[in-house]
Each structure stands twice: as C-alpha cells, then as structure tokens.
C-alpha cells in the first residue's frame, strides 16, 4: 500500500498544489486544514480521489495521524491574513509546530517545516544565504509571523537534537501561480486582478523595493526533493527564484502582459516592509540538484490566464 503523507495547510495555495503533486506521484494524502486562509475550492479536483482524505483540524489543538511523512505548511502566509489575528498566527507557528512534531515523534515520521524568507526580516545582505541570521523586529506588525516562524525553526532543531527526529527545513521565498486567492492581498494576485479589472495598481511605497518570485510548480518540486533528500541533510535550505525584480517593474510587466490600461496608485508602505529580498539557492542546487525553471514571464502568463478565467466565471 502506498505511503500515507500528511500535509497541514493542504487547502492553502502551495499546500493544494503539493497535495495534487503527491497524489500524482502515487502517495496517499491526508490534508489537514482549519480553512482560516485555505479554501476547499483549491481541493475540488482531489475531493473524490480514493487516495485523498481531508481532515478539518486546527493544528494548535493536539491531534493524531498515522503517517510516514509530514509537510507542515499550516499558517496564513499573506501579511494581510497573518496580521488579522496575530496571536493565533504565533500560536499556529509555535504550538501548532509542537503538535505536529509530536505526531512525527510518535510515528517515527519525517517532517518538513515550511519556513520562510521572512525569518531574514529586512535583510542587510544580498542575496540571502542560509547562514545569514536576519534582521527582524521582535515588536513590529510582521513579528507574529517572522518571529513565530523563527521559533518554529528552533523547535524543529531542538526536536532533532533531543529526540533525533528526522527533520527538514525549507525557507520559502515569494511564490505565485494559479490558485492563489483573489483576496489574498499579496502583490502578484493584487496586481493581476487590478490590471484585468482596469483598476489602479496599488504600489506600496515608491515601488523600488524588490522581491524574487518563484512559480508554484517549481516550489512544489523543490519541497518534495527536500523531503526526500539524504537523511543527513536537514537544512535549512532556501527555496525561491533568484531572479530579483522591483515592485514597480513587476507592475509595469503585469500591465503590459494583461494589455491593460490600468495606471499606478502609490500608497503607504507598510511598516517593516523588507526593502530587498533575493534567495541564494546554491545550497539547494548542490544538495537537491534543484533550481526553478519557469521564467517570471511564463509564470505570469499562466497566472493571468487563471485569474482571467476566475473573473470571467464570476461576472
Ligand atoms: N505590495 C504592493 N502592492 C500590493 C501588495 C503588495 O506594492 O498591492 C508590495 C509590498 O509592500 C511588498 C511587496 O509588494 O513590498 C511584496 O508584498 P507581498 O505582500 O506580496 O509579500 P511579502 O514579500 O511582503 O510578504
């Protein structure tokens, strides 16, 4: 019988793509989600699959599952969502991680933590290597997420040190693609939906801040490779696309790809918004033989097609 794998946060954007990829590879998948930012619509195509189970569960409450591998993706990842209930965000990162680590321990399962580039805060070094310890405000509006995720990293390594748990730690940089909620609040979905509607594109600040955007299929491939990597390699490993672009340039690119007449509206820059972010992915390349293959233009075209079909269906 195929191995059973748990994906917490499996109804979220990356989680749902991951569940689909695992099922396609022949695994049985237990998807766990409290639907706080995830959505069952993301799982429509898997719902009736014999190898797929959905379990409604908030990971901050202890639970049990007999599985061989765990991908811990449960946590809202968009600033808009994770700041809406910051204490719940910290609980999800910390208490939630302890609960899934305990499940891994009870069943001798390998467990991968979806960490984040946010643990680098507003970085002083570029590109960011895994050895960089970050520049994070412990009291800012983003701290519930970035400090929560930093503490989760600590917990993973303490469970490894104390209980020899088989852990994997991936630091996920900005990821985009079909399936991201229209109201997600992150920049790619906001800009595409605004451009398709002919609305102003809302650039926060002057648009000179940078990000590096990874297409979701590349990310899912990297996460699966990391999970199945050599037992001696726990990470942390950066996962992202090293192609860095300013938010202003991203806006121009999306307007042009959408053939839109939208204009730019400059808005207030949120506090602690990182000025530059770009992963050094040398380690992933060496250890996992992984690097993203989807260019930003190709990925944006696919993502625009997705939002166009959603907006057409809603109109
Ligand atoms: N951003 C923007 N307009 C938007 C949404 C986001 O200019 O409508 C900016 C945001 O301030 C940040 C960057 O785009 O500098 C990426 O934001 P996002 O929320 O997508 O992810 P982050 O990397 O900040 O977690």
pLDDT grade, residue 315 (50/70/90)?
A: confident
Q: Is 46 in the pocket of ligand 1 (CB under 6 A)?
A: no
Residue that wins the pLDDT comparison between 1 and 268: 268
Q: What is the pLDDT of residues 26-48, one digit of tens each?
A: 999 999 999 999 999 999 999 99
Residue 268 sits at the vertex; the CA angle it makes with 264 and 274, to the nearest 5 degrees, is: 100
Residue 44 has phi, psi (to 5 degrees) of -50, -45
Residue 167 CA to ligand 1 center (angstroms) comes to: 30
2: pLDDT strictly greater than 90: no
Q: What is the pLDDT of residues 228-287, one digit of tens each?
A: 999 999 999 999 999 999 999 999 999 999 999 999 999 999 999 999 999 999 999 999
Which DSSP letter does residue 179 get? Answer: T
Beta strands (DSSP E) in the chain are 4-8, 28-33, 52-56, 69-72, 110-116, 167-172, 175-176, 201-204, 210-212, 214-215, 237-239, 244-246, 264-267
Q: Which of 209, 211, 303 to mutate to test the pocket of ligand 1 (most atoms within 8 A of CB)?
A: 211
314: pLDDT strictly greater than 90: no
**Tokens representing residue 31 in the block:** 């998807």
Q: Please name the residue whose Cα sits nearest to atom 11 of ligand 1.
A: 204
Q: Is 31 in the pocket of ligand 1 (CB under 6 A)?
A: no
Q: What is the pTM of this model?
A: 0.97
Give the integer Cα–Cα distance in Å for 258 and 262.
10
With the C-alpha atoms ordered 225, 230, 231, 236, is the resulting torsion angle positive or negative? negative
Residue 187 sits at the vertex; the CA angle it makes with 242 and 227, to the nearest 5 degrees, is: 50
Options 71, 145, 159, 176, the catalytic residue: 145
Residue 203 has phi, psi (to 5 degrees) of -90, 125
Question: Among this protein's residues, is 145 annotated catalytic?
Answer: yes
Give the integer Cα–Cα distance in Å for 185 and 80.
6
Q: Looking at residues 78-102, what average pLDDT do you find?
A: 96
1: pLDDT strictly greater than 80: no
Q: Is 209 in the pocket of ligand 1 (CB under 6 A)?
A: yes
Q: What's the half-sphere exposure (Cβ side, CA atoms, 13 Å) at 29?
A: 29
Q: Set out the domains of the chain in order of their start, with CATH numbers.
A: 4-176+214-239 (3.40.50.720), 187-211+243-278+295-314 (3.90.25.10)
DSSP calls for 180-233: --TT--SHHHHHHHHHHHTPPEEEETTS--EEE-EEHHHHHHHHHHHHTS-TT-
Q: Please name the residue whose Cα sits nearest to atom 12 of ligand 1.
A: 273
């Amino acid at each position: 019988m195929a191995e059973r794998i748990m994906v917490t946060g499996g109804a979220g954007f990356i989680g749902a793509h991951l569940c689909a990829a695992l099922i396609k590879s022949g695994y049985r998948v237990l998807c766990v989600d409290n639907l706080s930012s995830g959505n069952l619509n993301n799982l429509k195509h898997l719902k009736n699959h014999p190898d797929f189970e959905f379990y409604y569960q908030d990971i901050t409450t202890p639970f049990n599952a007999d599985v061989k591998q765990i991908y811990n993706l449960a946590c809202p990842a968009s600033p808009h969502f994770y700041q809406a209930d910051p204490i719940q965000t910290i609980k999800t990162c910390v208490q939630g991680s302890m609960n899934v680590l305990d499940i891994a321990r009870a069943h001798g399962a390998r467990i991968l933590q979806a960490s984040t580039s946010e643990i680098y805060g507003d970085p002083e070094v570029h590109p960011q290597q895994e050895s960089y310890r970050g520049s994070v405000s412990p009291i800012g509006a983003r701290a519930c997420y970035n400090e929560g995720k930093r503490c989760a990293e600590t917990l993973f390594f303490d469970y490894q040190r104390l209980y020899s748990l088989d852990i994997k730690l991936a630091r996920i940089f900005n990821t985009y693609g079909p399936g991201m909620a229209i109201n997600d609040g992150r920049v790619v979905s906001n800009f595409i939906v605004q451009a398709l509607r002919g609305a102003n594109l809302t650039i926060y600040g002057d648009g000179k801040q940078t990000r590096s955007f990874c297409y979701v299929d590349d990310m899912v491939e990297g996460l699966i490779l990391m999970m199945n990597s050599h037992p001696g390699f726990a990470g942390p490993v950066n996962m992202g696309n090293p192609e860095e672009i300013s938010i202003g340039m991203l806006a121009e690119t999306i307007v042009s790809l959408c053939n839109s007449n939208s204009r730019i509206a400059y808005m207030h820059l949120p506090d602690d918004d990182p000025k530059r972010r770009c992963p050094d992915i040398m380690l992933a390349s060496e250890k996992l033989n992984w690097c993203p293959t989807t260019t930003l233009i190709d990925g944006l075209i696919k993502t625009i097609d997705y939002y166009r079909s959603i907006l057409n269906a809603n109109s």
